[in-house]
A and B are shown apart, each in its own frame.
Chain A
Amino acid sequence: MAKELLSLEDGTTCTSWNYSGSRLAAGSADGTLSIFDSRHPPSSSSLRTTFKSRVVEGNIVKIVWVPPEYGDAVACISADGIVSLWEEVAIAEDSQSLQWKICKSFGNSSGKVLDVQFGISSTSLKMVAAYSDGNVRVFELLDPLELRNWQLQAEFQNVIESVSEFGKASCLSASISWNPQKGGSQESCFLIGFNSNTPELNSSKVWEFDRAHQRWLPVAELAMPEDKGDLVYAVAWAPNIGRPYEIIAVATQKGIAIWHLGLNPDHDGRLPIERVALLSGHEGMVWQMEWDMSGMTLATTGHDGMVRLWQSNLNGVWHQQAAFEPTS
């Protein structure tokens, strides 16, 4: 059933596929970034290394591809919380030989970056970064052809009431997911949740850009009143190919919650939410959640080392559809 595509070098710590599944980026413990390309005609069985070089100090813990509208580029997050943006470009003006170049670095003394995700709003590319001090920063790309020039567009904390006071936050991890909606006039929005010592920050909230006032506003909080302080391990916004509501998965220590998010805000500007399922299975931390391109199947991995697939049945009841257990 499983077909091996590639054996990675020792020390590889993370991988990430690009939008078309034709390029794989792999990061390793010594800060090496490797890029593997599939040959043409696209047969996934043959991947070859087209780039390999040490790009950061220390361990690469996560790689995120920049949306293809902005080139072939990846953001590498290192264990010490530095994000470096690398891009594949022609060596010189007229050359067709390619090389990977660093464009930009984020993260400094103000805090470690835990996660970044890119989203395209109607006007530009945005990058949301979650920091270990509980801050969320949104950067905006100024020049669509130049990944060097970013501007800090907003900075806020993942709280509904901005007046609430709390001590110094220390966050272990964060998870961000943009609404995968492409194009259209809809305002860009994303979802973020933290795994921190500060309960107010943790619950995942949907942030939407308020164009009139040029600010980000929380439009929904995806947690039951009694669960608001739960540690959030992972969030995933499902592609919506035509449903009259959005579907979002949020994994906390209590399990994987599936939420329906209404499309029309109420008089407070909040979007109606409903938790339609709470799924258990991984018994502990959920590492990652991914929706398929139809937004109907959710794949998850977690502490039990299994890959689980979840679906809703004809009655709207969510359940585990299948699981894969790695065995040697």
Chain B
Amino acid sequence: MASDTVGNGSLVPFTGDSAAVYPLHHGLPLPISRLSISWSRGNTLRLSLFAGAAAKVVEVKVNSEDSEIPDAHWRRIAYGSVAPFALLQSQRSSISSLLKTPSPYHSDWWEHVLQYSKEIGTLLGGSKLTNSPIIEGPNILVKTDEMPTCLQAAWELIEIFYVDKQSQAWLPERLVDWLADYDSLFTSTHETIHGKLVDFQKELGNIQVIEDDPRYWDLLSSALSVGWLDVVVRMLRLHGSYQLDQLSNRELENGLVEAVAVLISKMPRLRPESDGKLGDCYKSKPDFIKAWEKWRSQITKLDHSPFWIQCDNQQTHEGLRNLLQIMLGNIESLCLATCYWIELYISHFLYIRPFTMGIESMYNLAEKCIQLKPQSSIHRLTGLMIGILEENTEVVLAECSREFGPWLVAHAIELLTTGSEQSEILLHEDRYNLGGISIVELHRLAYAQILSSHALTWQIAPIYLTSCMKQGMGLLENLLYRQSVQHNDVLLKNIEICRLYELDHISSNIMKIAGVYHWKHGHKGAGVFWLQQAQDRSCLDRIAQQLFDSVGKSISDESFKKWEGMIELLGSESNPAGGLEFLHKYRDFKKSLKKVSGGKSTDAARQAVGSLILLMKNPSTPQRFWLPLLHDSLKLLNWQDCPLLSVSETNLLLNKLQELSLAKLCAHYTEPSLPPNALSSIRLALATNLGRAILDE
């Protein structure tokens, strides 16, 4: 389990070579004199470059996905892979809880993974290319309109080897199909059979006598060597001897061509179904072996047939005989027919080692093929394939991350652990060097970082982060904290995510930020609302204090309207602070006073007096409010119909006035802004009320 074999061992691998130096074109006239850096969300790094007096700010994504796929397509993949990923995680956890073991080993676990793999495969655009039986037009040998992606090819390769347990028996045939689908991808680095076919197809219309063209025979043997039987038979039928005007004098030649074509189309294959392609399919190995031997004997028989001598077209003679050699597994013919080692490798399974099952000794064979066809340039799928054949999970992982980026690693890692306890341990074991997380978690975190760095994908990062047992929540918290609260839609989304994952302290933090933002930016109501939501006592107390102060300054009805709503907000939920309690009572008093002001209803007046007494009795009512309160209540004190205050109530108020006159001697006393005769009119009103109350009682 030596992890030093892992490629460059990168934690969060970057595409390209390790420790690569990338040029950073800034377009400033002078050399850089100073640089400053700042990480944005995820893997976005922002740089400020200073050169002379000029300066620029640039943004760099330090670890991006495969550039083969355009951004919009990437986002489609990112969004599309969420559901299968989440489903697999939930299946994993339900199976683990069922078995009461941490490892999800279950006889049919691989079926879940296979379903997941198929869904992802479809998402990547898993439409079969040359597999499609419908090829229109006589001059179409291979389809060229849809190009598969390397990502798709890599995914399918991993699926073939790690997940699809059902197809283990016909693994070689799946590789044949795989190459048929993706041979075109290798054209970017070297010559391929697909590439040669495409070139030939372009010129097909201009070729008069096809069997005289050496490329025709060359391509026939090439296509046959990798098992593209349909292409071979279709090409053979283009042979000139099939033309009606020539049929009579080339009867024998045509017979030989047709005989080979029939043999090719009858080639026994060890696979469950034909998918509409040529060849006779056998599901069981004994049947296949029997058929194979019979087929081989037919080829040998044809090879030794006397008709060859009578065939006077030299090209046809040699070309067809060469096809027979391919089918007989002649290594030299196969070597000549194939372009690079993977093609040669596939041809081995078809013609030299048709009875190979499973992965045993496949690596040795690959080594042999690489020796026979040394690679001048290495394609990125090649590295992955070698890693898989070597059965080295770490190399596979390193290749995936280096060549295909974090998306593939984060998703393919699910496939790699299927069915191998050793890989399961390797990938799920917590490592101190990684800060106590497993390789699986590390790669999910790395992928979540990529998602986090884009405004259109950060919302799906939580799905991956919450599947990380150790550090996912920590990173999610950091991600959520870094979202701007300025815009309500982002803010609400943010809070929703917090609620979903029970991140209460982060959501209250975010709401506090929003509250302070709005409060300071003049949206006082929104500010109070969010601070309430955040249950931020210290800020709310400060706001209550401020309100309090402003209420104390002016007590006119206009200002009352202004802060009435605020008091409502402040007191709606949380246990109101001392100051707020007063404000609530004060609001009630003001309201009842308003009712009194117009009318003459004694009941309303009595209610107002009740509020006044409550306020004056309450220890939290600040002293400086006493006089204004009483002054506001003059109408009540001088009520015409009857005295509204009892003797004891009047005494209470008189005592308060007494206290006030004592307080005036203190330094801290601030004189409320009231008319100069306020105090005396209050005194007079109280005295009058007292007299009337005594008489009444």
Residues of chain A having any CB pair with chain B under 8 Å? 1-17, 19-22, 24, 26, 40-44, 47, 68-72, 87-98, 143-146, 182-184, 239-245, 287-288, 290-294, 296-297, 299-301, 305-307, 309, 311-317, 319-328
* Chain A residues, CB < 8 A from B524: 93-94
Residues A242 and B474 in contact in the complex (CB < 8 Å), given A42-B490, A145-B516, A145-B543: yes
B301 at the interface (CB under 8 A from A): no
The answer on a CB contact under 8 Å between A321 and B449 is no
9-residue interface stretch from B220-228, B431-439, B640-648: B431-439
Beyond the given A3-B58, A323-B21, please list 19 additional residue pairs across the A-B interface where CB-CB is below 8 A: A1-B60, A1-B61, A5-B46, A6-B57, A15-B36, A15-B55, A71-B520, A90-B521, A182-B506, A182-B509, A239-B474, A292-B42, A296-B12, A314-B6, A316-B433, A326-B23, A326-B35, A327-B23, A327-B25
Would you give the shortest CB distance from B4 to chain A, in whole angstroms?
A: 6
The answer on a CB contact under 8 Å between A15 and B10 is no
**Quick one: which of B506-563 are within 8 Å of A by CB?**
506, 509, 512-513, 516-517, 519-524, 536, 538-539, 542-543, 546
In the complex the two chains form, what is the Cα distance from A29 to B609 in whole Å?
Answer: 66
The answer on a CB contact under 8 Å between A69 and B18 is no
In the complex the two chains form, what is the Cα distance from A44 to B453 in whole Å?
Answer: 11
The answer on a CB contact under 8 Å between A88 and B45 is no
Closest to A40 in B: B487
Would you give the shortest CB distance from B430 to chain A, in whole angstroms?
A: 10
* Chain A residues, CB < 8 A from B22: 1, 322-325
Closest to A95 in B: B522
The answer on a CB contact under 8 Å between A42 and B484 is yes
The answer on a CB contact under 8 Å between B538 and A144 is yes
The answer on a CB contact under 8 Å between B59 and A243 is no
Q: Is the interface of B mostly helix, strand, loop or mixed?
A: mixed
The answer on a CB contact under 8 Å between B45 and A299 is yes
Closest to A5 in B: B57
The answer on a CB contact under 8 Å between A325 and B28 is no
* Chain B residues, CB < 8 A from A13: 34, 50
The answer on a CB contact under 8 Å between A314 and B475 is no
* Chain A residues, CB < 8 A from B487: 40, 42
B24 at the interface (CB under 8 A from A): yes
B358 at the interface (CB under 8 A from A): no
- 6 of the cross-chain contacts (CB-CB < 8 Å) are A12-B50, A15-B55, A26-B55, A68-B485, A239-B474, A288-B37
The answer on a CB contact under 8 Å between A21 and B433 is no
Would you give the shortest CB distance from B421 to chain A, in whole angstroms?
A: 20
The CB with the most chain B CB atoms within 10 A, among A3, A97, A145, A311, is that of: A145
The one of B3, B12, B478 in contact with A311, judged by C-beta atoms closer than 8 angstroms, is B12
In the complex the two chains form, what is the Cα distance from A243 to B11 in whole Å?
Answer: 15
* Chain A residues, CB < 8 A from B53: 10-11
The answer on a CB contact under 8 Å between A314 and B11 is yes
The answer on a CB contact under 8 Å between B435 and A244 is yes
B133 at the interface (CB under 8 A from A): no
In the complex the two chains form, what is the Cα distance from A325 to B4 in whole Å?
Answer: 29
* Chain B residues, CB < 8 A from A24: 57
In the complex the two chains form, what is the Cα distance from A314 to B3 in whole Å?
Answer: 7
When each residue 52-73 of chain B gets 1 if its CB lies under 8 Å from chain A and 0 otherwise, what string results? Answer: 0111111111100000000000
The CB with the most chain B CB atoms within 10 A, among A9, A98, A144, A183, is that of: A144
* Chain A residues, CB < 8 A from B36: 14-16, 287-288, 301
Would you give the shortest CB distance from B167 to chain A, in whole angstroms?
A: 32
* Chain B residues, CB < 8 A from A97: 522
The answer on a CB contact under 8 Å between A322 and B35 is no
The answer on a CB contact under 8 Å between A21 and B41 is yes
* Chain B residues, CB < 8 A from A288: 35-37
B20 at the interface (CB under 8 A from A): yes
Would you give the shortest CB distance from A3 to chain B, in whole angstroms?
A: 5
* Chain A residues, CB < 8 A from B523: 96
The answer on a CB contact under 8 Å between B478 and A15 is no
**Quick one: which of B124-148 are within 8 Å of A by CB?**
none
In the complex the two chains form, what is the Cα distance from A266 to B337 in whole Å?
Answer: 72
